[in-house]
Amino acid sequence: MFSIVFVTPEIPGNTGNVIRLAAVTGASLHLVEPLGFDLSDTKLRRAGLDYHDLANVAIHPDTEALWDDLGPGRRVFAFTTSGTRSFADVSYRPGDVLMFGRESVGLPDDVSRDERVTDRLRIPMLPSRRSLNLANSASIAVYEAWRQNGYAGAR
């Protein structure tokens, strides 16, 4: 299945919602520290409480540890408002990595431009809008990738 990566997320409710997303789609969730909240945060637990034990969640101290865990040969798609290619123009494959940055500033340039990143993608939206909610962006991307793969494993 797919991997979702949140690099230094700040809002516990977004991460809790994506724990639920990972659980219901079979995706794995990778969180890169530092996190802007404690994992026992009430908002995180409330959003993902029923699903935390059903989700595959890994926490990495930094991006180098993330890269090591993901291993070589994975396609990594960095979602960023500065991406030039639409996320809908990609033919996703199982094992692809969908990477997102923090809510306030997105992915750091050194991460989104890392040589291990396959492409920088954007989710279309109206001009003069800053960005989508992080959990919503991850949901849009995961469901498009899963749809393209016939919702493998779904009932």
101 is in an annotated binding site: yes
What is the rounded distance in angstroms from the CA atom of residue 20 to the CA atom of residue 51?
A: 5
At CA 64, angle to CA 73 and CA 134, rounded to 5? 85
Burial 6-31 (b: 16+ CB within 10 A, else e): bbbbbbbbbbbbbbbbbbebbbbbbb
123 is in an annotated binding site: yes
Whether 131 has a binding-site annotation, put simply, is: yes
For the annotated binding site for S-adenosyl-L-methionine, the residues are: 101, 123, 131
For the annotated binding site, the residues are: 101, 123, 131
